[in-house]
Amino acid sequence: MAEPKHPVRTVDRAMEIVEIIQELDGAGVSEIAEQVDIGKSAVHNHLNTLVNREYLVKEGDEYQIGLSFLGLGAYARDRTQIYETARSEIDKLANETGELANLLVEKNGMGIYLYQAQGQNAVELDTHEGKQVRLHCTGLGKSILAFRPRDEVTEILDKHGMPKMTEQTITDRDQLFNELDQIREQKYAVDNEERLAGLCCVSAPITNGEERSIGAISVACPVHRISEERFYEELPDAVLGTANVIELEHNYS
């Protein structure tokens, strides 16, 4: 995304503060001031303004994200066409597998969870609708990257890097590109404890009529209770079938 020619510094600073609070899961004035290049007094003024608009709430000495963002987020999500198309199919996938089913889209080189549905055996994770994750370390992200031009993938990696999340995270570009080629050929990706230790997932891309990824879906489950047959045969079949239905409805309805 191109940088604005005449950015409004106060708006940029306010959003930076909001993002810091989200990342820290709540923060005080001193914590925020340590991460921005303005004094505590200016930080306090920003915080008070956002509290007054109900975008932040103050709990003791700590500030948290307010519910006013929920309305904006829900509105933005509902305007995303793939969400409306995929939601019911993600629900079916979760019920069919009994696991956690996810829908992810890419924005500015990051993955954003757009929707999640829980089957009867679904694992509880740190993910939630709206959470951002890097693309190189998830099955969902690799599914998206595999169906994007190589120069676009390179730009994303240049911008966001390939930090090591677990011992299994791919941090070498050549290795990642080799895997993306394999994913493009087989039409699905796996994440074997690459973002979270103990978690695996199977993912498939949602592509448009030009075979460009516009999102990805996945089924995630704990490593300790999944067999190789289910991981490499049953779940790929289920995820690929769901992705195919979503693509048909999205591209041709």
The H or E element that residue 11 is part of is: helix 9-24
Check whether domain 9-66 has CATH 3.40.1010.10, yes or no: no
Question: How high is the pLDDT of residue 22?
Answer: 81
Question: How high is the pLDDT of residue 68?
Answer: 82
Question: How high is the pLDDT of residue 102?
Answer: 96
DSSP lists the bridge partners of residue 133 as 111
Residue positions counted in the chain: 253
Question: How high is the pLDDT of residue 218?
Answer: 97
Question: How high is the pLDDT of residue 5?
Answer: 62
Question: Are 222 and 198 in contact, with CB atoms under 8 Å apart?
Answer: yes
Q: List Cα–Cα distances, 60 to 49, 166, 223, in angstroms.
A: 17, 35, 40
Residue showing tokens 């829980």: 118
Question: How high is the pLDDT of residue 73?
Answer: 73
The pLDDT averaged over each successive group of 10 residues in the chain (253 residues) is 66 87 86 87 90 90 86 72 90 96 94 94 86 94 98 96 96 97 96 95 95 96 91 95 94 81
CA distance 61 to 59: 6
Domain ranges of the chain: 9-66, 79-252
Question: How high is the pLDDT of residue 130?
Answer: 84
Which ranges of 60-209 would DSSP assign to H, the alpha helix?
A: 68-78, 81-97, 139-146, 150-160, 173-186
CA distance 236 to 55: 41
Question: How high is the pLDDT of residue 137?
Answer: 96
Residue showing tokens 């005449």: 6
CA distance 157 to 155: 5
Question: How high is the pLDDT of residue 3?
Answer: 58
Question: How high is the pLDDT of residue 98?
Answer: 96
CATH number of 79-252: 3.30.450.40
Which residue type, as a one-letter code, is found at position 188? Answer: Y
